[in-house]
Chain A
Amino acid sequence: MSNKDAHWEKTRSHMFVTLALWFFFSIVIFMFGSELNNMSFLGYPLAYYMTAQGSLLAFVIILFWCTGKQEDIDEEFGYAEREED
Chain B
Amino acid sequence: MFKGGFIQNLPKIYGLYTGGFAVFIILMAIAESAGVSAKNIGVMFVVFTVGIYAFIGYLSRTVQVDAYYVAGRQVPTVFNGMATAADWMSGASFVALAGGVYFGGYTYMAFLVGWTGGYVLVATLLAPYLRKFGCYTVPDFIGTRYGGNLVRACSVFVLFIASFTYVTAQINATGTIASRALGIPFELGVWIGLISILICSMLGGMRAVTWTQVAQYIVLIVAYLLPVFWISSKVGGGVFPHLMLGDEVARLGELEQQFGLVKNSAADIKAAGVPGGLKYISGPHSAVPEGGMAVWKYLSLAICMMVGTASLPHILMRYFTTPSVKSARRSVAWSLFFIFLLYSSAPMLATLSKLSLMDPNLATGIIGKSIADVQAIEWVQRWSEVKQVFIADFNGDGILQLNEFFMRGDVVVLATPEVAGLPFVISGLVFAGGMAAAMSTADGLVLAISNALSHDIYYKIIDPKADTAKRLIVARVLLVVIGAAGAYIASFRLTSILGSVAWAFDFAMSGLFFPLVLGVWWKRATREGAIAGILTGISSGLVYLLYVYPKFSVAIWGVAHDPWLGIDHLRFGMIGAPICLVTMVVVSLMTKEPDAATQKMVDDCRVPTGKAVLGKQH
Chain A residues engaging chain B, CB cutoff 8 angstroms: 4, 7-8, 11, 15, 18-19, 22, 25-27, 30-31, 33-34, 36-37, 40, 42-45, 47-48, 51-53, 55-57, 59-60, 62-64, 66-67, 70-71, 74, 79-81, 84-85
Contacts and interface: CB of A to CB of B under 8 A. Distances in A.
A7 B608 CA distance: 11
Given A48-B286, A64-B333, A19 B124 contact: yes
Given A56-B112, A57-B340, A45 B286 contact: yes
Contacts of A37: 286-288
* 10 A-B pairs with least C-beta separation: A43-B246, A52-B347, A63-B333, A48-B286, A33-B288, A51-B109, A26-B117, A22-B120, A34-B288, A53-B344
Contact of B344 (A15, A44, A52): A52
Contacts of B299: 27, 30-31
B596 interface: no
A24 to B, nearest CB: 11
A30 B340 contact: no
B291 to A, nearest CB: 9
B293 to A, nearest CB: 13
A74 to B, nearest CB: 5
B329 A42 contact: no
A79 B607 contact: yes
A42 B240 CA distance: 12
A15 B242 CA distance: 31
Contacts of B323: 84-85
A51 B329 CA distance: 25
B45 to A, nearest CB: 29
Interface string B590-618: 00000000000001001111000000000
Contact of B125 (A8, A15, A25, A31): A15
B607 A7 contact: yes
Nearest to B250: A43
A48 to B, nearest CB: 4
Given A52-B109, A63-B119, A30 B344 contact: no
A64 to B, nearest CB: 5
A25 B112 CA distance: 13
A52 B78 CA distance: 25
Given A34-B290, A53-B347, 19 more contacts: A11-B606, A18-B120, A26-B113, A30-B298, A30-B299, A40-B246, A44-B249, A47-B106, A52-B112, A52-B344, A55-B113, A57-B344, A59-B116, A60-B336, A63-B336, A64-B333, A70-B329, A79-B608, A81-B325
B608 A74 contact: yes
Interface residues of B, number: 57
A49 B246 CA distance: 9
Contacts of B244: 42
Contacts of B609: 74, 79-81
A51 B330 contact: no
A51 B343 CA distance: 11
> Which of A11, A48, A71 has most B Cβ within 10 Å?
A48
A33 B340 contact: no
B295 A30 contact: yes
Given A34-B290, A48-B106, A63 B344 contact: no
A67 B123 contact: yes
B125 A33 contact: no
Nearest to B298: A30
B247 interface: yes
Nearest to B247: A43
A42 B246 contact: yes
Contacts of B121: 19, 22
> Which of A30, A33, A44, A56 has most B Cβ within 10 Å?
A56
B117 A33 contact: no
A42 B125 CA distance: 34
B492 to A, nearest CB: 36
B210 interface: no
Contacts of A11: 606
22 contacts: A4-B603, A4-B607, A18-B120, A22-B120, A26-B120, A30-B113, A37-B288, A42-B244, A43-B247, A47-B106, A51-B112, A55-B117, A56-B112, A56-B113, A56-B343, A56-B344, A59-B116, A63-B120, A63-B123, A66-B120, A67-B330, A81-B608
